[in-house]
């Protein structure tokens, strides 16, 4: 039993922190926000050179073959400064391939994910009020061996930047997962403006897209693969969200030390400092749940769904509160476009529904523990 990071993980954290501070300070985040996909191919290649993109990919495919605990370290740091990048999306596409990809599919995509030539993402959801497997209704029409898809996938993260989509659909009631490259005939991406402009998503319009056997993932139990992907998604966005919540807290602590009213830094007043202390209690508690959840992915433990829900439920509500408090503690400047704290507030709004909000996960936990 050892609940601590290794020395290497400490170095990894430092390296990523240094990278994001140098390569993507807030001015660069704001510049990228104004681009079509909030995605910079140069930054992406630089991340690849750092080894960050191949982190979860085995060495035979050009990656570093590291663990989810390592990946969480990276995401905390990229979240801290709201780094715009399809890092999480591509990692989840990677997991789909590692779990259920054929050798040919892996050899085609994983090396390109690792060296930054390609971006992948999940295209699962359809209705705004449905999460998880219940959100997948798209029905394929069979044409011999080919599944023909007609419909829409919505809320697809990094839809504009992605080169390949992991699409979920049904044949009858059976769930299927397939890889659909962006050039597939009949496939179109409609970009939707997002409230958090550092995070993009769009709608995938499937107009007679043909999915052959070679495109389908070979999951023995597609429901289980889907659940794993969703739980990995929970853990990943919780890690990024935790980093962002800590970033918001740090920005606000700095402001509370600098801003003087009634002859004293506002951070002296308990109405200010106690809210920040509560935020810290929350971020520290979330870390405990998150690190354990990441470890259960690495160990493929049956506890993963429970810990993914524990961590995401806590983070979804706590970050909502932290985002609101941190803006309020800035006074009027918090309401300006100029100050960075509004970007954290918007990130907290993005984060809440992603892979299920607090109530979704509390209901899931209740079903697990109370029946």
**Which residues make up the interface to another protein (CB under 8 A)?**
1-6, 9, 69, 249, 253, 256-257, 264-265, 267-270, 272-274, 276-278, 280-281, 284-289, 291-292, 294-295, 299, 310, 313-314, 359, 361-363, 365-366, 369-371
Cβ closer to another protein: 223 or 359?
359
Residue 72: CB atoms within 10 A of its CB come to 26
Three-state DSSP class for residue 148? strand
Kindly list the distances between the CA atom of residue 180 and the CA atoms of 33, 143, 216, 289, 340, in Å, as whole numbers in the listed order: 27, 17, 9, 34, 37
Cβ closer to another protein: 106 or 321?
321
Query: How near is the Cβ of 302 to another protein at its closest, in Å?
Result: 14
C-alpha span between 54 and 107 (Å, rounded): 14
Both tokens of residue 353? 């529904």
Cβ closer to another protein: 257 or 336?
257
Q: Say if strands 164-171 and 120-123 run parallel, antiparallel, or are unpaired.
A: parallel
Cβ closer to another protein: 143 or 284?
284
Cβ closer to another protein: 35 or 257?
257
Query: How near is the Cβ of 135 to another protein at its closest, in Å?
Result: 20
Query: How near is the Cβ of 322 to another protein at its closest, in Å?
Result: 13
User: What are the residues whose beta carbons fall under 8 Å from the beta carbon of 212, sequence distance 6 or more?
Assistant: 145, 146
Q: Is 329 left (phi over 0), alpha (psi -120 to 50) or beta?
A: alpha
Cβ closer to another protein: 6 or 35?
6
Q: Say if strands 201-211 and 146-157 run parallel, antiparallel, or are unpaired.
A: antiparallel
Query: How near is the Cβ of 66 to another protein at its closest, in Å?
Result: 12
Query: How near is the Cβ of 170 to another protein at its closest, in Å?
Result: 28
Query: How near is the Cβ of 275 to another protein at its closest, in Å?
Result: 9
Return the H-helix or E-strand segment holding 179.
strand 174-181
């Amino acid at each position: 039993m050892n609940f601590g990071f290794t020395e290497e993980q400490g170095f990894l954290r430092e390296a990523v922190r240094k990278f994001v501070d140098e390569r993507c300070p807030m001015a660069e985040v704001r510049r990228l926000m104004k681009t079509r996909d909030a995605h910079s191919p140069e930054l992406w290649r630089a991340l690849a050179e750092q080894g960050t993109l191949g982190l979860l990919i085995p060495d035979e495919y050009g990656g570093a073959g590291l663990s989810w605990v390592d990946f969480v370290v990276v995401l905390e740091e990229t979240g801290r400064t709201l780094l715009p990048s399809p890092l999480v999306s591509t990692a989840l596409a990677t997991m789909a391939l590692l779990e259920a990809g054929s050798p040919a599919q892996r050899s085609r995509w994983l090396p390109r994910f690792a060296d930054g030539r390609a971006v992948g993402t999940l295209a699962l959801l359809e209705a705004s009020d449905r999460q998880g497997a219940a959100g997948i209704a798209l029905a394929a029409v069979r044409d011999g061996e080919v599944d023909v898809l007609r419909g829409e996938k919505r809320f697809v993260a990094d839809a504009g930047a992605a080169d390949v989509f992991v699409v979920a659909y049904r044949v009858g009631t059976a769930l299927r997962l397939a890889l659909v490259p962006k050039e597939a005939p009949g496939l179109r991406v409609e970009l939707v403006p997002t409230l958090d402009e550092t995070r993009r998503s769009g709608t995938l319009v499937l107009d007679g897209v043909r999915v052959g056997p070679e495109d389908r993932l070979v999951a023995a139990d597609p429901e289980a693969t889907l659940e794993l992907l969703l739980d990995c998604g929970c853990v990943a966005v919780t890690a990024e969200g935790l980093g962002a919540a800590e970033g918001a807290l740090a920005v606000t602590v700095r402001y509370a030390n600098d801003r003087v009213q009634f002859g004293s830094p506002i951070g002296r007043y308990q109405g200010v400092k106690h809210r920040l202390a509560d935020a810290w209690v929350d971020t520290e508690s979330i870390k405990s749940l998150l690190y354990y959840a990441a470890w259960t992915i690495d160990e493929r433990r049956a506890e993963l769904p429970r810990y993914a829900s524990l961590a995401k439920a806590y983070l979804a509500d706590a970050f909502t509160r932290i985002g609101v408090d941190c803006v309020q503690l800035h006074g009027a400047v918090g309401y300006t476009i100029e100050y960075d704290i509004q970007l954290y507030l918007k990130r907290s709004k993005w984060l809440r529904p992603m892979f299920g909000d607090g109530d979704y996960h509390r209901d899931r936990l209740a079903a697990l523990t109370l029946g």
